[in-house]
């Protein structure tokens, strides 16, 4: 029994039905939570050390690291039964969608810092950090997440290609175990 099956077995029946119905979205959310931690960990590490004067550059690097982690987790777990393209084609589409999502994610931080001047010396360090987190890690990430989920389902891991992958998985499961 997998971890997911164990967790589902402990859920009340009405909630279990909702979780099963929206399992892709839930898996996507778990991957998103994981990459949120990766993104912010790398961002603050860079922003508070080597890229102290370049918070947008630090955020872009952090997002790129998180996108790589996201590709691995989404392709192997969240959307495992979808897609079916050759791996290099799927990866190229994933990174194109993610590249657009990086721009979507950076816009609120850029506006906060350079249009609204929410940076030291115009505001206190605490206000700057709250504005950075709110714009870069909440608003930007939520906008990018909605775009990514839609783009991944539509272009990277489309369901019509997933039939081939699901059929292959079923054949592999039916093979005798050694």
Q: What is the pLDDT of residues 117-130, one digit of tens each?
A: 999 999 999 999 99
Mean pLDDT of the chain: 84
pTM score of the predicted model: 0.69
Does residue 157 or residue 173 have the better pLDDT? 157
Q: Tell me the C-alpha distance between 176 and 178, whole Å.
A: 7
Q: How many CA atoms lie within 13 A of 18 on its CB side?
A: 5
Q: How many residues in total does the chain contain?
A: 178
Q: How far apart are CA 39 and CA 16, in angstroms?
A: 31
Predicted pLDDT at 143: 94
The mean pLDDT value for 92-110 works out to: 92
CA atoms within 13 Å, Cβ hemisphere of 76: 7
**pLDDT tier at 74, thresholds 50, 70, 90:** confident
- The residue-averaged pLDDT of 9-19 equals 83
Please write the tens of the pLDDT for every residue from 152-163: 888 888 877 555
Task: Indicate the angle between helix axes 87-110 and 55-73, nearest 10 degrees.
Answer: 150
Overall average pLDDT of the 162-166 stretch: 52
pLDDT at res. 172: 42
In which band, very low, low, confident or very high, does the pLDDT at 1 lie, cut at 50, 70 and 90? low
- Where residue 23 falls (left for φ over 0; alpha for ψ -120 to 50; beta otherwise) is alpha
Q: Please compute the mean of the pLDDT values over residues 146-151 and round it to a whole number.
A: 91
> For 17-32, what is the HEC assignment?
HHHHHCHHHHHHHHHH
pLDDT score recorded for residue 121: 93
């Amino acid at each position: 029994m997998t971890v997911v099956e164990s967790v589902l077995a402990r859920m009340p029946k009405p909630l279990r039905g909702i979780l099963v119905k929206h399992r892709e979205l839930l898996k996507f959310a778990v991957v998103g939570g994981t990459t949120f931690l990766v993104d912010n960990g790398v961002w603050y590490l860079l922003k508070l050390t080597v890229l102290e004067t370049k918070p947008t550059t630090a955020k872009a690097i952090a997002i790129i690291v998180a996108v790589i982690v996201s590709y691995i987790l989404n392709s192997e777990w969240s959307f495992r039964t979808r897609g079916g393209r050759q791996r290099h084609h799927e990866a190229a589409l994933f990174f194109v969608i993610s590249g657009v999502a990086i721009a979507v994610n950076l816009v609120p931080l850029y506006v906060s810092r350079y249009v609204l001047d929410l940076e030291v010396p115009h505001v206190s360090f605490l206000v700057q950090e709250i504005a950075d987190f709110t714009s870069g890690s909440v608003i930007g990430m939520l906008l990018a997440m909605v775009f990514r989920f839609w783009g991944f389902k539509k272009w990277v891991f489309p369901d019509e290609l997933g039939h081939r992958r699901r059929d292959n998985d079923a054949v592999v499961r039916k093979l005798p175990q050694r």
